[in-house]
Amino acid sequence: MNLEELKLELKNKPISDVLNKHILAGEPVCFGRNLDLVIKLKKSISNHFDVHLKNIEVVGSSKLGISLSEEKLGKPYSRKSDIDIVIVSSELFDAAWHALLKLDFKFHTLNEKDRQFLKDCYDSTHRGYISPDRLPINLGFRNQWWGIFYKLSNREEYEYRKIRGRLFKNWWFVEKYYSIQLLKLKKLLEGE
């Protein structure tokens, strides 16, 4: 898909149709569209977190072929692009949230950087997602989370690409998150 095709889709179809057709379904463009390799990657993540394979999805430019972020809008997927992964697990989300709440009770003892990380998490948690890169550095959940992604990112078979994940409580929150992203994008494109 290219930017012009996306503009046409967003102009002529409901956001939910575009979302479900291009972001939550379809085959990723990463790894030369090698679906076996994508499944192997998802299985590694699935096994690490004990999350069903169907609750792991490649998203972003590695799925669509172009970037949807405002800063890189329409930039084609390239060998330098990250692989963005969505993991949907109420259990993992609750575990991370619980760890954050325990840390919140120690807020006054945290250094300024960890306090800021914690404040950043407040904004996303009520929206049903957690970006583990925004978790405080000394939080055990963050280390468990990034351990697998760093390991996978350093493998030749995955082209040494940065592989990153965002954790969602359930699919409803995934749909809302990406619907908002597509709606912002639609308004941005209409303003051109």
Domain-wise residue ranges, the chain? 3-190
Q: What is the per-residue pLDDT for 192?
A: 65
DSSP for 132-170, written as a single string: GGGS-TT-HHHHHHHHHHHHHHT-GGGTT--EEEEEESS
Structure tokens at 28: 């990723």
pLDDT surpasses 70 at 140: yes
pLDDT surpasses 80 at 107: no
pTM, entire model: 0.89
Condensed to tens digits (0 to 9), the pLDDT of residues 51-87 reads 999 999 999 999 999 888 878 888 899 988 999 999 9
If you average pLDDT over residues 30-50, what whole number do you get? Answer: 95
